[in-house]
A = this chain, B = another copy of it.
Amino acid sequence: MAKNQQTLVDGVFDKIFDLVLGGEIPLGGALNEAALAERFDVSRGPVREAIKRLQGRGIVTKQPYLKARLVELKVPDLIEIFQLREAVEGMSVRLATQNMADDALDELLSEFADAQNRSDAVVLDVHVRIAEGCGNDRIRRQLCDELYYLLRLYRARSGAMPGRRKDAFSEHWQILRAMKARDADLAESLMRAHINRATQGLIELLGATGDETKVMG
């Protein structure tokens, strides 16, 4: 993980998120400011700010005087995240289709073709590249700084989506072709269908309607 920290808060934020990804803090578990401060050899101030940043990104929930708790990532939480993602990524790919320069788009296409045999870390990367190319910085931040953090947490806890890899690849390919054809309506529609399918898969996999099942302890 790139620790380009200019200030202690940045480093503490990354370290806490590593703990979260590593499972050391259980889903729904509490974050103790003092303990984290001592662990990272830092005072409570930076830890407080880092936790507040996690809160701003929806990874942690908190009420005054109650300890911060890691999000639970139950099925309803995931559905909420994916619904928001569907809306925002749809607009992201629409704008990218309209705004990306020809050469940037060609580069993305050829990189994607090259990478089709590698690990599925690439999968997320397509979405990131589109968000970076959409030209709307608020949308890019919403996706890269918030929703993708939650997805990383989910994936770290659940393992990748089973059996979706081949499907996802061809869906991405369709999206990129629509972008290349500068068909924004189609690109948005394909992206929304792509995310919607992932959502449906989630629901089936994790146990149907809004029950209280956790993904993991």
Cross-chain contact of A81 among B6, B49, B138, B141 (Cβ < 8 A): B138
Residues from chain B with a CB closer than 8 A to the CB of A138 are 58, 80-81, 83-84
Measured between alpha carbons, how far is A81 from B6 in the docked complex, in Å? 28
| A80-B7 contact given A49-B52, A86-B91, CB 8 Å threshold | no
B64 near A136 with CB under 8 A, answer: no
> Does A88 sit within 8 A of B, measured CB to CB?
yes
B87 near A91 with CB under 8 A, answer: yes
Measured between alpha carbons, how far is A168 from B16 in the docked complex, in Å? 46
**A56, A79, A95 — which one has the most chain B CB atoms within 10 A of its CB?**
A56
> Does A90 sit within 8 A of B, measured CB to CB?
yes
Residues from chain B with a CB closer than 8 A to the CB of A125 are none
Residues 67 to 125 of chain A near chain B (Cβ within 8 Å): 79-81, 83-84, 86-88, 90-91, 95
A7 near B64 with CB under 8 A, answer: yes
**Smallest distance from the beta carbon of A44 to chain B beta carbons, Å?**
11
Residues from chain B with a CB closer than 8 A to the CB of A48 are 49
> Does A137 sit within 8 A of B, measured CB to CB?
yes
> Does A202 sit within 8 A of B, measured CB to CB?
no
List residues of chain A with CB under 8 Å of any chain B CB. 6-7, 45, 48-49, 52-53, 56, 58, 64, 79-81, 83-84, 86-88, 90-91, 95, 136-139, 141-142
> Other CB < 8 Å A-B pairs besides A80-B137, A87-B90, 14 of them?
A45-B45, A48-B49, A49-B49, A49-B52, A52-B56, A56-B56, A80-B136, A83-B136, A83-B138, A84-B91, A84-B136, A84-B142, A87-B91, A142-B142
